[in-house]
Amino acid sequence: MQGRIIKGIAGFYYVDTGSSLYECKAKGIFRNRKMKPLVGDMAEIEVLDEEKKLGNLTEILPRMNELIRPAVSNIDQALVIFAAKNPKPNYNLLDRFLLMMEKQRVPAVVCFNKTDLAREKELSVLMDVYKDCGHRVIFTSVSDETGLSEIREAVEHKTTVLAGPSGVGKSSMMNLLYPDANMETGAVSEKIQRGKHTTRHSELIRVGEDTFVMDTPGFSSLFVDMFEEDEIKYYFKEFEPYEGQCRFQGCSHTHEPGCGVKQALADGRISETRYDNYVLIYNELKEKRKW
C-alpha cells in the first residue's frame, strides 16, 4: 500500500493513503541505508493491524526534491510569510530564507501579511525592496481578506511549504482560507495523542484533492553555513543585469573598484536594504571560513 508521510514524531510516521491514516514505524533497512524518512515522502507501507491502523514503512519512493531546512521532501514551492507590521519585518531573516530556497532550487512566494496595520508608505517601501528579488510578492490581510484569493491561487494544485517567523498570522490565514483543514489537523492530533502543538513539527495538511500545505515551525534565526561566500551573489537576482559591467572577473560586489552592481546601487537601481544584507551575509561566511 502506498501513501504520503504527513508527520513524523519520535520515530513514528503518520502515512495518509487517501482513505486512511496509518501510524507506522520505519524498518531497520532505513538505518542501514542511512536514510531518514521525511515529511512529504511517498512511501510503501505494510499494514500490521487494519483495525488500529498500524503499519511499517517498507520503502521510500524516489524524491522529487529534498530540503535541508526545513527537512521535508517533494514540495513544489515555499510560501514565506512575514508581517508587514507588528512584528516589524526582519529583512535579513527573509533574505536568508530566500537564499536557502534558491540554493535548494525551490520556487518561493513572498507574502507580507497584516497590511491593515501598515501605512501605504510602509507597504511601498516593502515593494521597492523586493520587487526585483526574483520572487512573486503578495500583500495580504486576514482582517479584511485582502490578497487571500491570490494566495489561494498560488497554492492550488501544489504542495507548498508554509514558513515564516511566529506571530505573523500563518495559522490565521490558513484557517480562513481552508476552514476544513482544522478538522483534518484535529483528527491527526487525536490519533497521534501528543497534543495539538503542530508548529513544533513539520506537518503536511491536505487542503484539496491535489493541494497540500506543509506547516513548519516558526523560525527566528537562520544560519546559512551551507553556502560559500562566493556563490551567494548568484542568488540575489537583481544583481544579474549588472554583473557583466564589473571591471574584474569574479567581482564579489563588496569592495572592488569598477563594480557594476555597486554602481547600480549608487544609481538607485538596486535596493540598498537587499545589498546591505548581501554584504552582511557575505562577510559572515567569509569570517566563518577563517575558523
Binding residues, as ranges, are 113-116, 164-172, 246, 251, 253, 259
Annotated binding residues for GTP, written as ranges, equal: 113-116, 164-172
Task: Tell me the HSE value of 64 on the side-chain side, using a 13 A CA sphere.
Answer: 13
Annotated binding residues for Zn(2+), written as ranges, equal: 246, 251, 253, 259
CA–CA separation, 114 vs 168, rounded Å?
A: 8
Yes or no: say if 127 and 99 are a contact pair by the CB < 8 Å rule: no
Question: In 3-state terms, the chain is what percent helix, strand and coil (to 5)?
Answer: 35, 25, 40
CA–CA separation, 142 vs 123, rounded Å?
A: 16
Amino acid at position 186, single letter: G
Judged by phi (left if over 0) then psi (alpha if -120 to 50, else beta), residue 85 lies in beta
CA–CA separation, 253 vs 49, rounded Å?
A: 61
Distinct helix (H) and strand (E) counts, the chain: 9, 11
CA–CA separation, 95 vs 108, rounded Å?
A: 11
